[in-house]
């Protein structure tokens, strides 16, 4: 058995996740990392890294998405609405774990100087939701079919310190931060006819600064910064940052995107490291002997939450939580969702069970064939819709001959004689007669995600545990 420093560190992290860990174990963990007496400050630095991970990731995402002169594809300047006209494909790398069920209608805008007004048309009964995320990835408001209905609506999104009067008929939504990410989703079946209907609705969305509301408004062109990396996935860009650059950016961002009042006790500890909201980062407070190890171990701690966080349910090979969208002081959960599903909704709007291994605990591989069977009447209970999505090991779409990245009821799934429904998860076609139920897999490793939008709250329900996700079984 090859025991490396990394494997020892991961074992130490598992101990650190336990409330019963002894001081001796903590000292041993420090020696594994070559840190010695500085282990307490080192772990505090990883705490600070985890705390800031959502805000730093949100900013890096904003930079990439808005670094264009005018809206094109999945990108658009600040304050302009991006209207995806078709589902993202396998080339999409802006956000991890994208969906292929809705047409994103999104925008980044800054409410630090003045409010912005969003007007939406009559959605004619169509399922949609418009979650608004602050800089820390908290969904502070979510108008949509579930919450506000499908009639025409107008909202003013105001900043943390704004006070003023709004025009009649305009409802105020106050953002806790200057950064706001409107991450709208409109359900679409993907047919040419339905694409056209959704496009008409998208074109009626309006977003303007309050000072221009009710007046002719032409958004200014965006500013393109050639120094921004537009090719590397945002998560990789964040994870590659050294600790000093990371904390410098975090402190800068906290000036306009203040932490919540509930964060005060944690922030008081970070002051020891030179991390103080409203102030520039004091790098001299961060010890040089361990600074290089902080990002690596912090990211490991984040991903370890799949195994140790009590808010994570693990059953039949599926892992999920109903603690998305609003995190309060669960900083590790907030960072985990940022890493694997930035932009996740509140659980009332969506639950995202994820599976990395089959029913027997083995990693998925396109070299094998799998079946996921839903008993009669037991397809995922959702008021909005459900889908099963295929990702590669990095949570991105995979090229396949059908250009099918997810499977759902819109594929007109065929039932078995007993009323059950089988989904075929494999690299090669299961046969023409079964292709309606086929979710194409890559040749290598892959990950599955089951989306349930507006999950049913009455029994059977995934939220109260009365509905269980069936396992994915390898076919002999």
Query: Which residue do the tokens 């985890």 mark?
Result: 50
Residue 344 sits in the same domain as residue 465: yes
Q: Which pLDDT value is given to residue 4?
A: 44
Helix (H, G, I), strand (E, B) or coil at 52: helix
Q: Which pLDDT value is given to residue 2?
A: 40
Q: Which pLDDT value is given to residue 32?
A: 62
Q: What is the pTM of this model?
A: 0.88
Domain membership of residue 358 (yes or no) is: yes
Closest CA to 451 of 400, 410, 418: 410
Residue 76 sits in the same domain as residue 205: yes
Q: Which pLDDT value is given to residue 7?
A: 46
For residue 258, the domain's CATH number is: 1.10.3360
For residue 430, the domain's CATH number is: 2.60.120.600
> Considering only 126-130, 246-250, 311-315, 446-450, which range has the smallest mean pLDDT?
311-315
Q: Which pLDDT value is given to residue 97?
A: 85
Residue 53 sits in the same domain as residue 73: no
Domain membership of residue 224 (yes or no) is: no
Residue 157 sits in the same domain as residue 193: yes
The CA–CA distances, whole Å, from 21 to 16, 17, 29, 298 equal 6, 8, 11, 18
Q: How many domains does the chain have?
A: 3
Given a cut of 60, whether residue 9 has pLDDT beyond it is no
Given a cut of 60, whether residue 8 has pLDDT beyond it is no
Residue-averaged pLDDT of the chain: 92
pLDDT digits (tens, 9 = 90+) for 25-59: 666 666 666 676 678 899 999 999 999 999 999 99
Residue 340 sits in the same domain as residue 466: yes
Residue 203 sits in the same domain as residue 244: no
For residue 138, the domain's CATH number is: 2.60.40.1610
| Domain range enclosing 40 | 5-58+234-303
Residue 166 sits in the same domain as residue 245: no
Q: Which pLDDT value is given to residue 179?
A: 98
Report the distance separating Cα 70 and Cα 78, nearest Å.
9
Q: Which pLDDT value is given to residue 209?
A: 98
With cut-offs at 50, 70 and 90, classify the pLDDT of residue 272.
very high
Residue 203 sits in the same domain as residue 267: no
Helix (H, G, I), strand (E, B) or coil at 263: helix
């Amino acid at each position: 058995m090859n025991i490396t420093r990394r494997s020892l560190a991961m074992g130490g992290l598992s101990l650190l996740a336990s409330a019963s860990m002894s001081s001796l174990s903590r000292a041993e963990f420090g020696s594994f990392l070559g840190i010695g007496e500085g282990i307490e400050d080192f772990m505090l630095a990883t705490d600070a890294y985890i705390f800031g991970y959502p805000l730093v990731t949100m900013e890096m995402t904003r930079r990439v998405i808005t670094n264009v002169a005018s809206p094109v594809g999945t990108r658009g300047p600040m304050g302009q609405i991006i209207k995806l006209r078709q589902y993202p494909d396998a080339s999409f790398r802006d956000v991890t774990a994208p969906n292929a069920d809705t047409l994103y209608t999104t925008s980044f805008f800054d409410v630090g100087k003045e409010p912005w007004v969003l007007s939406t048309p009559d959605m004619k009964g169509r399922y949609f939701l418009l979650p608004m995320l602050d800089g820390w990835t908290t969904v502070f408001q979510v108008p949509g079919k579930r919450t506000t209905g499908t009639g025409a609506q107008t909202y003013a999104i105001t900043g943390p310190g704004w006070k003023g009067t709004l025009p009649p008929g305009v409802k105020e939504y106050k953002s806790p931060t200057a950064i706001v990410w409107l991450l709208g989703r409109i359900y679409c079946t993907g047919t040419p006819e339905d694409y056209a209907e959704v496009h008409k609705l998208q074109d009626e969305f309006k977003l303007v600064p309050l000072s221009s509301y009710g007046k002719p408004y032409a958004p200014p062109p965006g500013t393109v910064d050639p120094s921004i990396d537009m090719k590397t996935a945002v998560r990789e860009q964040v994870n590659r940052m050294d600790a000093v650059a990371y904390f410098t950016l975090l402190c800068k961002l906290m000036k306009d995107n203040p932490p919540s009042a509930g964060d005060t006790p944690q922030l008081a500890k970070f002051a020891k490291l030179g991390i103080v909201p409203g102030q520039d980062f004091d790098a001299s407070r961060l010890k040089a002997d361990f600074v290089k190890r902080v990002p690596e171990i912090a990211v490991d701690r984040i991903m370890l939450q799949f195994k140790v966080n009590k808010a994570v349910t693990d059953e039949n090979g599926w892992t999920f939580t109903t603690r998305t969208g609003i995190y309060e002081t669960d900083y590790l959960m907030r960072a985990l969702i940022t890493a694997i599903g930035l932009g996740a909704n509140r659980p009332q709007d969506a639950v995202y069970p994820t599976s990395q291994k089959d029913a027997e605990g083995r990693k998925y591989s396109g070299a094998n064939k799998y079946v996921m069977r839903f008993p009669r009447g037991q397809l995922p209970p959702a008021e909005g819709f459900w889908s099963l999505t295929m990702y590669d090991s990095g949570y991105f779409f995979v090229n396949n001959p059908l250009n099918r990245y997810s499977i759902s009821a819109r594929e007109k799934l065929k039932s078995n004689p007993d009323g059950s429904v089988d989904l075929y998860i494999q690299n090669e076609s299961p046969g023409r007669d079964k292709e309606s139920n086929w979710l194409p897999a890559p040749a290598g490793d892959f990950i599955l995600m089951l989306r349930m939008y507006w999950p049913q709250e009455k029994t059977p329900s995934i939220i109260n545990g009365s509905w269980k996700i069936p396992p994915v079984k390898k076919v002999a």
